[in-house]
C-alpha cells in the first residue's frame, strides 16, 4: 500500500538557510556572509563570553543532578529576567504584577505567549510591523491568529514612518494584539524615539490594544537600561502587556535556547491565575525547560562579579557593531560611493536596511561573493576589520550609476 507520506509536498525553503548553503558552497576565499543573524567578533567567530565560561566551569565542577525543573523555570532565572526588563526597583515586581516563565529562546517565548493568547483572546487579530522579523507572521499564524501589518518603515527617510504607524494603530480593532520590537528593529535597524514610545503607549491605551513587546537585543543599541525604554514606558502605563526576551544575542548563547515570556497583570491574584494557565501551555508542549542555559545566565546575573564581566563584554559587542556602522559609512565614502549611506550609522542593533535592490544584492553575490538577503538587509556584526574595506568597495561598485 502507498506510504502515508506519498503525497507530502516539499515545504518552502527558509530563505536565510538557503543563503547560508549557497555561501558555504562558494569557493571564493574573499567571500562574506552578511545574511546571518548572529554576532561575530573581529575574527569572524561567535564569541563564548568569559562570564559564560566562568559560570559553566563552576557548574561542571559542582556536578549538579539533572532533575526536572519547575514548569515555569527556576525562580533565580525568572527573577533575574524581571530585573533586567523592569529594573530591580520596579513597583510592578514589588506588587507581584509580573509573571515570568523561562522559554526556549525568544522564539519559544513568542510561541508560548501566542498559544496562551489564543486561549485568552481567541478572536483577536495580530499586527506585526511592516516589515518584521520573518518568523513573526508564521509563528502567530501557526498559533491560529490572522496576522496583519502596521505601517513601520519609511524607505525614503530610512527611518520610522511614525505617522503611518500611529494611523495603523488607531485603525486596529480593540483587543488586537500588537507585536512591537522593543529595540534594535529587525530587519530595518530603525527604532522609535523615547517620546514616540510614549505615543504608542497612549495609542494602545486609547484603542484597547494588547501590546506584545519582542526584545531580542537588549544591550545591543545603547545599554541594558536604555534599551528597555519601551518596556519601561509600558510599565509606567498601568496597562497589561506581554514581553518576550532572549539571551541568544546578549549572552551569545544561541544554541542553548535561553529566553523568557513575561506578562504584566493588574495584580497578585491575576498573576497567580495567569501563571497557572501559561504553565498548562508549557506542560502540554515541552513540559519544562532545559537546565543548562538558564542556569548559566542566572549564575552570571546573580553574581556581582560575573555580571560586571558580562556587562563589559556586552558593551564590547555593542561598541564593535557601532564601530562597523561608522566604519562602513566612512569606507563607502572613501570607496567613492555616489549614494549617501550616513543613515547606516544612525540605525541601531545588528541590522541595516541598506536600500540595496534585489538586483544589487545579486551583483554583490555574483561579482564579489558577498551574500545578503534580497531585501537589502545586512548584518553589521558580520563585518570586521579584515573584510569591511572589501565590502565597502563592493557596495560602492554596485550602487554607482
Ligand atoms: N525576535 C526577533 C526580532 C529576532 O530578531 C530574533 C532572532 O533573530 C528572535 C525573536 C528569536 O530569538 P531566539 O534565537 O532567542 O529564538
Q: Looking at the domain assignment, is residue 338 inside a domain?
A: yes
Residue 336 has pLDDT above 80, yes or no: yes
Q: List the CATH number of the domain containing 210.
A: 3.40.640.10
If asked whether residues 134 and 271 sit together in one domain, one would say: yes
Quick check: 179 and 158 in contact, CB under 8 A? no
Crossing angle between the packed helical segments 162-171 and 194-207, to the nearest 10 degrees: 10
If asked whether residues 72 and 203 sit together in one domain, one would say: yes
Quick check: 81 and 262 in contact, CB under 8 A? yes
Whether 214 sits among the annotated catalytic residues: the reply is yes
Q: Looking at the domain assignment, is residue 184 inside a domain?
A: yes
If asked whether residues 343 and 289 sit together in one domain, one would say: no
ipTM of the complex: 0.99
pLDDT of residue 244: 98
Pocket test for ligand 1, best of 221, 248, 258, 348 (most atoms within 8 A of CB): 248
If asked whether residues 242 and 343 sit together in one domain, one would say: no
If asked whether residues 154 and 273 sit together in one domain, one would say: yes
pLDDT of residue 262: 98
Choose the catalytic residue: 227, 249, 279, 310.
249
pLDDT of residue 14: 81
HEC profile of 112-161: HHHHHHHHHCCCCCEEEEECCCHHHHHHHHHCCCCEEEEECEECCCCEEC
Check if 218 has its Cβ closer than 6 Å to any atom of ligand 1: no
Choose the catalytic residue: 115, 191, 214, 227.
214
Q: List the CATH number of the domain containing 333.
A: 3.90.1150.10
Query: For strand 153-154 and strand 159-160, is the pairing parallel, antiparallel, or unpaired?
Result: antiparallel
Q: Looking at the domain assignment, is residue 55 inside a domain?
A: no
Q: Looking at the domain assignment, is residue 210 inside a domain?
A: yes
Instruction: Please state the rounded mean pLDDT for residues 254-278.
Output: 98
Confidence of residue 16 (pLDDT cuts 50, 70, 90): confident
pLDDT of residue 15: 78
Check if 186 has its Cβ closer than 6 Å to any atom of ligand 1: yes
If asked whether residues 128 and 183 sit together in one domain, one would say: yes
pLDDT digits (tens, 9 = 90+) for 346-398: 999 999 999 999 999 999 999 999 999 999 999 999 999 999 999 999 999 99
Residue 219 has pLDDT above 90, yes or no: yes
Closest CA to 229 of 201, 209, 205, 251: 201
Distance 105 CA to ligand 1 centre (A): 7
Domain extent, residue 112, equals 68-302
pLDDT of residue 52: 98
Whether 249 sits among the annotated catalytic residues: the reply is yes
Number of domains in the chain: 2
If asked whether residues 118 and 227 sit together in one domain, one would say: yes
**Three-state SS at 365:** helix
Average pLDDT, whole number, for the chain? 97
In the numeric block, which cell numbers belong to residue 58?
Answer: 563552576
Check if 262 has its Cβ closer than 6 Å to any atom of ligand 1: no
In the numeric block, which cell numbers belong to residue 326?
Answer: 561608522
The pTM of this model reads 0.97
Closest CA to 35 of 264, 371, 324: 371
Q: Looking at the domain assignment, is residue 191 inside a domain?
A: yes
Pocket test for ligand 1, best of 16, 107, 218, 382 (most atoms within 8 A of CB): 107
Whether 310 sits among the annotated catalytic residues: the reply is no
Q: Looking at the domain assignment, is residue 96 inside a domain?
A: yes
Instruction: Please state the rounded mean pLDDT for residues 191-206.
Output: 97
pLDDT digits (tens, 9 = 90+) for 293-307: 999 999 999 999 999
- DSSP H or E run through 389: helix 388-399
Check if 37 has its Cβ closer than 6 Å to any atom of ligand 1: yes
If asked whether residues 182 and 260 sit together in one domain, one would say: yes
pLDDT of residue 283: 98
pLDDT of residue 308: 98
Amino acid at each position: 500500500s502507498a506510504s502515508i507520506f506519498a503525497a507530502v509536498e516539499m515545504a518552502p525553503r527558509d530563505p536565510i538557510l538557503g543563503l547560508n548553503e549557497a555561501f558555504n558552497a562558494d569557493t571564493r576565499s574573499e567571500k562574506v556572509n552578511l545574511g546571518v543573524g548572529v554576532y561575530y567578533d573581529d575574527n569572524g567567530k561567535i564569541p563564548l563570553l568569559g562570564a559564560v565560561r566562568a559560570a559553566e566551569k563552576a557548574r561542571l565542577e559542582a556536578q549538579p543532578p539533572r532533575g526536572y525543573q519547575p514548569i515555569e523555570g527556576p525562580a533565580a532565572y525568572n527573577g533575574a529576567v524581571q530585573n533586567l526588563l523592569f529594573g530591580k526597583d520596579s513597583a510592578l515586581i514589588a506588587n507581584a504584577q509580573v509573571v515570568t516563565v523561562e522559554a526556549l529562546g525568544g522564539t519559544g517565548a513568542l510561541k508560548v505567549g501566542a498559544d496562551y493568547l489564543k486561549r485568552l483572546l481567541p478572536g483577536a487579530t495580530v499586527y506585526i510591523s511592516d516589515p518584521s522579523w520573518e518568523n513573526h507572521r508564521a509563528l502567530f499564524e501557526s498559533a491560529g491568529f490572522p496576522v496583519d501589518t502596521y505601517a513601520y518603515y519609511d524607505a525614503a527617510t530610512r527611518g520610522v514612518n511614525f505617522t503611518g504607524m500611529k494611523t495603523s494603530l488607531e485603525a486596529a480593532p480593540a483587543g488586537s494584539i500588537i507585536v512591537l520590537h522593543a529595540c534594535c528593529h529587525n530587519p530595518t535597524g530603525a527604532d522609535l524615539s523615547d517620546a514616540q514610545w510614549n505615543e504608542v503607549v497612549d495609542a494602545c491605551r486609547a484603542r484597547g490594544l494588547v501590546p506584545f513587546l519582542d526584545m531580542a537585543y537588549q544591550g545591543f543599541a545603547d545599554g541594558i537600561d536604555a534599551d528597555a525604554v519601551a518596556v519601561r514606558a509600558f510599565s509606567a502605563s498601568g496597562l497589561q502587556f506581554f514581553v518576550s526576551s532572549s539571551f541568544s544575542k546578549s549572552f551569545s548563547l544561541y544554541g542553548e535556547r535561553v529566553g523568557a515570556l513575561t506578562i504584566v497583570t493588574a495584580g497578585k491574584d491575576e498573576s497567580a491565575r495567569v501563571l497557572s494557565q501559561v504553565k498548562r501551555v508549557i506542560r502540554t508542549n515541552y513540559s519544562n525547560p532545559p537546565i543548562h542555559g538558564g542556569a548559566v545566565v542566572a549564575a552570571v546575573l546573580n553574581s556581582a562579579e560575573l555580571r560586571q564581566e558580562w556587562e563589559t563584554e556586552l558593551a564590547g559587542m555593542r561598541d564593535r557593531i557601532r564601530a562597523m556602522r561608522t566604519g562602513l559609512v566612512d569606507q563607502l565614502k572613501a570607496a567613492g560611493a555616489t549614494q549617501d549611506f550616513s543613515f547606516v550609522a544612525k540605525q541601531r542593533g545588528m541590522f541595516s536596511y541598506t536600500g540595496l535592490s534585489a538586483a544589487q544584492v545579486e551583483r554583490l553575490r555574483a561579482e564579489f561573493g558577498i551574500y545578503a538577503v534580497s531585501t537589502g538587509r545586512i548584518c553589521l556584526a558580520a563585518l570586521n576589520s579584515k573584510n569591511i574595506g572589501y565590502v565597502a568597495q563592493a557596495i560602492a561598485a554596485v550602487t554607482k550609476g
